[in-house]
Amino acid sequence: MRAPRLLLVLLAAALTAGCASSHVLTGTPRAPIDPAQVRIYHGPPPGQYEEIAILNTSSGALTYGEQNKIDSVLQKLRNEAAKLGANGVLFQGTADGERSGGVSVGGGVGRGGGRSFSSAGVGVNISPQQKYASGIAIWVANPPPMSTPQQAPGADGN
């Protein structure tokens, strides 16, 4: 009875650890804000800004689809920045994790108590490849209005 409960707790801990975001403070954090107020910048914002922390996150062990992975890491960057009181994230980029999927086959033969026995098994790993992202949590003194579309670097033809 205790073994299944322990296995369930260990599995939950492993899944939670795989989804964690982290930060390294480089400035002074502020009071937490709503993540909806955090903007993602693909280049330095206009005007002055203050760096608060370096952020790192991953898409999670069970996130499928490239767009879903990007959406997941961007939301996690916003959430982590909001906890630090940052109203912006200077997006640094993404990277793909290792491919860990595969098929394993195993078998065994044994003898015990005068009887012989054999077994075989097949294991399949269908975990998706994780997406990792990093950014810098920033506080922008006078952010542009939320309705102003943001462009990626080079999108204006320069």
Q: How far is the C-alpha of 18 from the C-alpha of 101, rounded, in Å?
A: 16
With cut-offs at 50, 70 and 90, classify the pLDDT of residue 52.
very high
Distance between CA atoms of residues 55 and 68, nearest Å: 19
Distance, in Å, from the CA atom of 149 to the CA atom of 15, rounded to the nearest integer, reads: 36
pLDDT over 50 (residue 89): yes
pLDDT tens-place string over residues 95-143:
887 665 566 666 677 777 778 777 777 776 666 788 899 999 999 998 8
Q: Could you give all domains of the chain from N- to C-terminal order, each with its CATH number? A: 21-98+130-140 (3.30.110.70)
Choose the weakest-confidence range: 20-29, 68-77, 92-101, 120-129.
Answer: 120-129
For 118, phi and psi rounded to 5 degrees?
-145, 160
pLDDT at 157 (0 to 100): 45
C-alpha R_g of the chain: 23
- Helices then strands, counting H and E runs in the chain, come out as 2, 7
Two tokens at 2? 């205790």
